Amino acid sequence: MIKKKIFEYQHKYFIDSLKNNYGTLIYIHLKKSFEAQILNPFFVNNAYKTDKSVKNYWEKNFYLYKYKIIYSLIIYSICLYGLIKIFKKKISKIINFIILIFDLSYRHIGLGWME
């Protein structure tokens, strides 16, 4: 019973803080959405080799961000090339456009909070 009241209070406090700081909410959400778009080719390697009991363990692999960004740009360039090839074919452009909009919306809005 007490836990439920605490959770309700935390939820109410969170909702009130979102309403009062709408600009900050948009900024944080956009920042997290763009961070979520960076692909990590080193994820499995880092997950098994990183000792998470060490304080600030994430700083050890921070230098890899430049490689992650380059890798992401290459993958997204290949995807963009494929998308352009699909649109050059004159088969149901409207359906492809609708699928693209829903896909991008899901990735940016839905997955932005997962980072």
Q: What is the pTM of this model?
A: 0.57
Q: What is the tally of structural domains in the chain? A: 1
Q: Residue 3 falls within a domain, yes or no? A: no
Residue given tokens 């692909």 in the structure block: 39
Q: Two tokens at 36?
A: 């979520």
The fraction of the chain above a pLDDT of 90, given in percent, is: 1
The H or E element that residue 90 is part of is none
Q: Residue 88 falls within a domain, yes or no? A: yes
What is the domain extent for residue 86? 25-114
Helix residue spans in 1-115 (DSSP H): 2-20, 22-36, 43-49, 65-88, 93-105
pLDDT in tens, 15-62: 888 788 888 878 887 787 777 777 777 777 777 777 667 777 667 767
HSE toward the beta carbon, residue 64, CA cutoff 13 A? 15
Distance CA 8, CA 23 (A): 24
Q: Residue 14 falls within a domain, yes or no? A: no
Mean per-residue pLDDT for 72-98?
Answer: 79
